[in-house]
A and B are shown apart, each in its own frame.
Chain A
Amino acid sequence: MIHVKNLSKTFTVNEKEPGLKGSFKSLFKRKVITKYALNNINFDIHEGEIVGLIGANGAGKTTLSKILSGIIHPSSGEISVLGTDPWKREINFRKKMSLIMGQKASLWWDLPALDCYLLLKEIYQINDEDYHTRLNFLAETLGIKDQLKVQIRRLSLGERMKVELIAALLHNPQVVFLDEPTIGLDLTAQKAVRKFLLDYRRQFNPCMILTSHYMEDIEELCERIIILKEGSIVYDGPLKDIIAKYANEKQIILTLMNGDIIKERAPRDGIGERISALLKSHDVLDLSVTEIEISEIIEKILRQGVMA
């Protein structure tokens, strides 16, 4: 469904010296720097997959989403989304994809959501029956039916995200780009959005690419992750494999009789010995062994740049 080969993207940025002198100087001459936002990226994504794009700020996640959705032009490389080059921005391609921008409204703020949806109905040429069926399903699943007649600017952040989600999925897209869909939402709203996305995926089986800084989003939604560091892929594979591959330790948590809690890490192959030693030296009420948090492993990969 998505094929990316040797994709690179460079940007030029102007550099200005600080201070008033620098400002005057920049009126006549500016230093232009070329930066790699993406460097030789390769991957394929298939129907029904939800892939998480992970990386620090400036790693190239959003640039990648923008290129795949046809917003910006790649500097070099080969891209095919739904069998077409997204940069050509063909109408048929745009009818089958969607981009949800958590930090950017795509609807018209002065109008109620229902008015915006009527316009989208014409833009996507959705027939009356499909429009009503999908709108009812999406609004009911997200629990936002009562807010659809309210001006969008008057909705809360969580409600706005929900009406944006409906707008993005009303035409039943085959490829969905989700850029920080839960940013700024409270925990309940985050959970609702995640549950909704899973339900939606189960029912319609689209290919989804998710960019998020919230590890809960990634852990709950994605089976596969792509980790980007400074424009290059440092890991591409199943989320569960990342633990086996990069977490060579496990965490032991002991609750002692006196109420104290001890947390300790031990190598995977030496976990039994370490537990025996701890049981001998302490009066233990409870014991548990857990995997190290995925966010910590990813942080380690980003810090050390482990190659896949």
Chain B
Amino acid sequence: MRLTKAIFQMEMRNILAYRFSFWINFFGTTIGQLGLSYFLWSSVYSASNSQRIGGMTFQMMILYSFLAPMTLKCIHGMQNLNINQDIFDGGLNKYIIYPLSYFQFKWVQHLTHTFSHAFQLFMGLAFFAIMIGMPSEYQFGAINIICFLINLAIASSLFAVMESIMEMMAFWADNVWSLSVLLRFVINLLSGAWLSLTLFPDWAQQAFYYLPFKGMVYPPVKILMGDMSLLEWAQSQLMMMVWFVLISFLARKMWQAGNLRYTGVGI
């Protein structure tokens, strides 16, 4: 626990070491995302002549379109775990030498970035409330925030383990960057980050239920918006945890096999 705390503190110091980047990132993402959502959906709603699309009013849709990418950003954490880079240039050596678990280190680092982005998300939400105003249907309580944070931790961990599999391919191939891009594309599409999942046909929505992605963005945003039952939310978390265990097992096997091929270049 002390080590986890120390890694968290170190990574926070790393993040805060570049405060210019921190604030640019915050304002760029928040205002950019809000502006984009507003103009996009106002055109869509005026063209459709309907008060609700996918069961959501215009304001709800804007809120969703703002929260979904911000939530996705939280889940992406540090974006790349840099495992492929560590394998490629021998950076892994130091983690092998230090008496710690490489994955524990990367996982805590990743969650620290998730935490930092979540802080930005809540600041952005406050900005949204002041500038645009919360939709009248919006219901907000402590339980929603707690569920949201739990969801973030689970989804972020699931993303980290999926990303680690892509990056560990570097044990066998030199350049695996495209695999990470592919993973992000699939997650963005099937998690509801780009579009609310209610906009997909029914058969697709049913199929998504069994995939690991559905619980990553759609439920946390919906639970934060007070638009999902606790039971439905809990089911999505359970599904993610099952996937987490399965993918972790696969990651462990890959790590064991990959290490036999590791050459520790760079020293």
Q: Which residues of A contact B (CB under 8 A)?
A: 11, 62, 65-66, 69-73, 89, 91-92, 94-95, 97-99, 101, 103-104, 106, 108, 110-111, 115-116, 118-124, 151, 179
Contact = CB atoms under 8 A, between A and B. Distances in A.
Interface of B: 2-3, 5-7, 9-10, 13-14, 17-18, 90-94, 96-100, 259-260, 262-264, 266-267
A101 B265 CA distance: 12
A62 B99 contact: no
16 contacts: A66-B264, A66-B267, A69-B96, A71-B262, A73-B259, A99-B93, A101-B93, A104-B91, A104-B267, A108-B10, A108-B14, A111-B14, A118-B10, A119-B6, A120-B98, A124-B98
Given A72-B264, A110-B14, A119-B7, A91 B97 contact: no
A99 B17 contact: no
Contact of B97 (A62, A97, A116, A121): A97
A103 B266 contact: yes
Contacts of B91: 104
Contacts of B266: 101, 103-104
A123 B3 CA distance: 6
B99 A91 contact: yes
Given A70-B96, A71-B93, A151 B262 contact: no
A298 to B, nearest CB: 22
Instruction: Specify the main secondary structure of chain A where it touches its partner.
Output: mixed
A118 B6 contact: yes
A91 B99 CA distance: 5
Nearest to A95: B99
- The 6 lowest CB-CB distance pairs between A and B, nearest first, are A94-B99, A122-B6, A106-B94, A101-B267, A71-B264, A91-B99
A72 B6 contact: no
Nearest to A93: B99
B90 A122 contact: no
A124 B6 contact: no
A69 B267 CA distance: 13
Nearest to A116: B10
A223 to B, nearest CB: 25
Contacts, number: 82
B263 A72 contact: yes
A104 B259 contact: no
Contacts of A99: 93, 97, 267
A11 B3 contact: no
B267 A179 contact: yes
Nearest to A106: B94
Contacts of A121: 6
A103 B262 CA distance: 18
A258 B146 CA distance: 93
Given A108-B14, A122-B2, A72 B98 contact: no
B60 to A, nearest CB: 41
A11 B263 contact: yes
Given A71-B93, A91-B99, A104-B267, 8 more contacts: A11-B263, A99-B93, A101-B267, A104-B266, A106-B97, A108-B14, A110-B17, A119-B7
Contacts of A122: 2-3, 5-6
A120 B90 CA distance: 20
Contacts of A106: 93-94, 97
Given A104-B266, A151-B17, A179-B267, A69 B3 contact: no
A95 B10 CA distance: 21
A72 B265 CA distance: 10
B14 A71 contact: no
Nearest to B98: A123
Counting chain A CB atoms within 10 Å of each CB, the highest count among B3, B7, B264, B266 belongs to B264
Contacts of A108: 10, 14
Contacts of A98: 97
A123 B100 contact: yes
B10 A115 contact: yes
Contacts of B96: 69-71, 89, 94
Contacts of A95: 99
A111 B16 CA distance: 11
A111 B18 CA distance: 11
Counting chain B CB atoms within 10 Å of each CB, the highest count among A71, A94, A101 belongs to A71
A110 B15 CA distance: 9
Counting chain A CB atoms within 10 Å of each CB, the highest count among B98, B260, B267 belongs to B267
Contacts of A65: 267
B13 A94 contact: no
A37 B75 CA distance: 43
A268 B13 CA distance: 64
A71 B3 contact: no
A91 B7 CA distance: 18
A18 B51 CA distance: 65
B260 A73 contact: yes
Contacts of A103: 266-267
Contacts of B90: 104
A91 B102 CA distance: 12
Contact of A94 (B5, B92, B98): B98
A299 to B, nearest CB: 24
A72 B262 contact: yes
Nearest to A62: B267
